[in-house]
């Protein structure tokens, strides 16, 4: 094997950025040979290794494959002789070539090169394992690991272990993690910090929290990555309080947190909506001078938004020197989640008009702000934008479109979006089931639920919420109770207050108010506002003042300042002609200072939403509208309709 290689045709292909990287080594040299006018580049095995490594990292496949081609033309250059030094030099170049193909070539090229290698070491096998794992080919990558062990020539090292563990990021890989953990002990790698860190991360990703904690507790030495892996693992599994406890424990020890540690802690504060803790971490970031890092700013904005402090989030956004797509998406979602729907839509339009690159996450966020009173035309424009940007493959965007169309009243378009989806997740199915339920089509909602199960998608608590809602509106009481039972017995999902409220609503709408009351009394948890509102609402529909009064009294205990129990009882008494009881209820309501919320109705015409309240004469066309209303009332009366003592003046209200 040669100790140096001379290249001529390769020189024009070397990017200019590489020359500055190679120059510090002082080994590459350009010679002008007398027999040729072309300059020649002389490289040794270390230069070649570096050049191939950089080609792989930077994606310069043409350069890397050109170097490979020169070896093919001169095979003796890379086939070692008996000399140990030559063998070592050769394996360095072979492994670098292998690494280049694993990063920017095809797996076919990678396999072919590996099969042609005259010598291999542990790095060669590790490269094959990581190359396949990086491309999502777990079985093939793990197969190379097994072949490596069977070969008896090379043995795995800590890099092999961490590479395989890094790919074990789902529950189904739990047994693989346990097996690798066994190999760690049997081969005495338990003292390696990097291996321990990988085990912690993998266990948490597989949902095995106790094993991850055990590895952490038994580690001989811990660095900042160890602590961060543990804290972030707890956050990912929504154990926010424990993660913050560990963060405080870390701060009292010798290891200092880094940016990633603070990011995880801010995520924990967001999950707990712990504003005080979030502010404390914010002050620590100021002291350390890292509060302006882009990822830190995004996390701070998210924390403040989740805690309801949109103003603070907006201040950080405005003061940020560098903004990326994540920052934009975070502030957009912050506005949407805190009731600033119109501001969120205007912010999105401003982003679009400013030429900012719109990504799927931004579209998904803005679609989430659409409600019943939102312009359908704006939703269609966003749908058009998603098609132009080729986001039709993105499930989050499609899920948002399904919800947007159903909330804006276009169920047919929701169904079209759903039917065109090539890949559907549980959110896709839930969104479409909810759309049918929202529009009162309970039969189609239940039919879609059966299709969802046939497709191998497990229902979630949201699925059952929509199904119970659908059963409530079509009167399928037995089916609804059956679904509630299967929710716990079959799928192990614990019902929330929303599920119980749906069941109460379902029973009440079917006229089974006593059964609804009995159901509430037998709940395993204390009934909350939602449950009592559901019972009171169905009493309003059925005109049952007795159970209605019982529900109203319970609701007043839960929310004494709410006008809902008083207004609902007043309506129930009115429907039964109990005017004295109605007057007494209104009087009590006024005495305690509870005011009724103003009802709003709306309509969209010519791409604009018009909103109205009771006795509203603020609209510029109010007089014209009331005039038409009076004409319509006259026509109704001429047709023989008797509207129950309603006068034209009352109709205007």
SS3 content of the chain, % helix, strand, coil (to 5): 70, 5, 30
**Strand, coil or helix: 609:** strand
Strand partners, 565: none
pLDDT exceeds 70 at position 26: no
Residue 248: the pLDDT is 95
Q: Are 471 and 477 in contact (CB under 8 A)?
A: yes
Report residue 89's pLDDT band, with 50, 70 and 90 as the boundaries: confident
Given a cut of 70, is residue 80 above it in pLDDT?
Answer: no
pLDDT-derived band of residue 648, with 50, 70 and 90 as boundaries? very low
pLDDT surpasses 50 at 580: yes
**pLDDT at position 486:** 94
- Domains in the chain: boundaries: 1-119, 324-421, 609-652
**Mean pLDDT for the chain overall:** 84
User: Which of the residue ranges 5-14, 135-144, 361-370, 531-540 would you say has the lowest mean pLDDT?
Assistant: 5-14
Residue 497: per-residue pLDDT: 93
Q: Are 372 and 438 in contact (CB under 8 A)?
A: no
Q: pLDDT digit string (tens) for 320-355?
A: 888 788 888 899 889 988 888 888 888 888 888 888
- CB under 8 Å to 651, separation ≥6 — which residues? 629, 630, 633, 643
Can you read off the two tokens belonging to residue 317? 């956004």
pLDDT classification of 136: cutoffs 50, 70, 90: confident
Average pLDDT rounded to a whole number, residues 561-567: 86
For strand 4-7 and strand 39-44, is the pairing parallel, antiparallel, or unpaired?
Answer: antiparallel
Give the pLDDT of residue 71: 72
pLDDT tens readout for residues 273-285: 999 999 999 999 9
Query: How much is the pLDDT for 77?
Result: 56
Q: Helix, strand or coil for residue 626?
A: helix
Instruction: Look up the pTM and report it.
Output: 0.69
**Hey, what's the torsion of the CAs at 622, 628, 633, 639, to 10 degrees?**
-170
Comparing CA positions, the residue from 213, 173, 216, 211 lying closest to residue 195 is 216
> Alpha helices, DSSP H only, in 135-192?
138-151, 158-167, 174-186
d(CA 231, CA 268) in angstroms, rounded, equals 9
Q: Read off the pLDDT band of 615 (50, 70, 90).
A: low
* Contact indicator for 63, 14 with CB cutoff of 8 Å: yes
Rounded mean pLDDT, 548-560 = 90
* Contact call for residues 98 and 127 (beta carbons, < 8 A): yes
- Residue 608 token pair: 């604009």
C-beta of residue 501 within 8 angstroms of C-beta of residue 519: no
Residue 253: pLDDT above 70? yes
CB 329 within 8 A of CB 361: yes
Percent of the chain with pLDDT over 70: 85
Which residues are 250's β-sheet partners?
A: none
Residue 650: the pLDDT is 40
CA-nearest of 617, 618, 619 to 649 is 617
Helix (H) or strand (E) run with residue 190 in it? none
Distance from C-alpha of 614 to C-alpha of 100, rounded to nearest angstrom = 71
Per-residue pLDDT at 36 exceeds 70: no
Whether residue 359 has pLDDT greater than 90: no
């Amino acid at each position: 094997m040669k100790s140096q290689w001379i290249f001529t045709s390769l020189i024009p292909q070397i990017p200019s950025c590489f020359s500055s990287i190679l120059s510090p080594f002082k080994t590459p040299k350009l010679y002008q040979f007398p027999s040729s006018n072309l300059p020649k580049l002389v490289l040794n095995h270390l230069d070649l290794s570096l050049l191939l490594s950089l080609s792989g990292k930077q994606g310069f496949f043409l350069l890397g494959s050109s170097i490979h081609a020169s070896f093919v033309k001169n095979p003796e250059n890379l086939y070692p002789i008996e000399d140990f030094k030559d063998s070592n030099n050769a394996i360095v170049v072979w492994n670098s070539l292998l690494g280049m193909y694993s990063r920017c070539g095809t797996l076919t090229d990678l396999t072919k090169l590996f099969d042609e290698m005259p010598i291999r070491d542990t790095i060669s096998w590790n490269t094959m394992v990581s190359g396949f794992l990086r491309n999502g080919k777990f079985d093939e990558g793990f197969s190379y690991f097994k072949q490596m062990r069977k070969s008896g020539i090379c043995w795995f090292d800590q890099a092999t272990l961490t590479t395989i563990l890094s790919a074990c990021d789902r529950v189904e890989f739990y047994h693989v993690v346990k097996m690798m953990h066994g190999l760690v002990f049997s081969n005495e790698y338990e003292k390696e910090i990097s291996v321990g860190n990988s085990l912690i991360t993998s266990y948490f990703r597989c949902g095995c929290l106790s094993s991850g904690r055990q590895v952490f507790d038994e580690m001989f030495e811990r660095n900042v990555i160890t602590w961060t892996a543990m804290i972030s693992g707890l956050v990912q599994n929504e154990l926010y309080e424990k993660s913050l406890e560990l963060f405080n424990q870390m701060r009292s020890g010798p290891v200092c947190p880094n940016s990633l540690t603070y990011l995880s802690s801010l995520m924990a504060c967001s999950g707990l909506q712990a504003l005080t803790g979030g502010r404390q971490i914010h002050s620590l970031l100021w002291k350390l001078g890292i509060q302006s890092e882009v990822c830190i700013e995004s996390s701070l904005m998210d924390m403040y938004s989740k805690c309801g402090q949109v103003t603070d989030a907006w201040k950080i956004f405005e003061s940020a020197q560098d903004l990326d797509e994540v920052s934009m998406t975070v502030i957009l979602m912050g506005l949407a989640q805190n009731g600033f729907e119109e501001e969120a839509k205007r912010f999105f339009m401003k982003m679009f008009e400013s030429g900012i690159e719109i990504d799927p996450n931004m579209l998904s966020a803005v679609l989430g702000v659409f409600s019943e009173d939102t312009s359908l035309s704006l939703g269609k424009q966003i749908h058009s934008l998603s098609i132009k940007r080729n986001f039709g493959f993105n499930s989050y965007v499609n899920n948002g479109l399904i919800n947007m169309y159903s909330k804006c009243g276009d169920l047919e378009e929701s169904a079209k979006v759903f039917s065109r989806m090539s890949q559907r997740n549980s959110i896709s199915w839930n969104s479409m089931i909810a759309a049918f339920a929202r529009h009162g089509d309970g039969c189609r909602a239940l039919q879609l639920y059966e299709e969802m199960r046939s497709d191998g998608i497990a229902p979630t608590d949201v699925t059952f919420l929509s199904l119970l809602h659908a059963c409530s509106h079509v009167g399928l009481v037995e089916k609804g109770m059956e679904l509630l039972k299967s929710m716990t017995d079959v799928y192990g999902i614990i019902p929330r207050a929303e599920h119980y409220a749906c069941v109460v609503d379902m029973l009440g709408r079917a006229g089974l108010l006593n059964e609804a009351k009995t159901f509430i009394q037998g709940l395993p948890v204390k009934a909350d506002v939602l449950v009592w509102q559901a019972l009171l609402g169905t009493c309003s529909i059925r005109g049952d003042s007795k159970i209605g009064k019982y529900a109203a009294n319970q609701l007043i205990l839960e929310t004494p300042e709410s006008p809902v129990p008083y207004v609902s009882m007043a309506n129930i008494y009115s429907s039964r002609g109990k005017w004295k009881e109605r007057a007494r209820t209104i009087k009590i309501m006024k005495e305690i200072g509870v005011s009724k919320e103003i009802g709003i109705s709306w309509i969209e015409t010519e791409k604009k939403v018009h909103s109205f309240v009771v006795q509203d004469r603020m609209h510029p066309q109010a007089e014209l509208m009331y005039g038409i209303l009076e004409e319509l009332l006259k026509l109704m009366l001429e047709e023989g309709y008797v509207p129950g003592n309603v006068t034209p003046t009352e109709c205007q209200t």
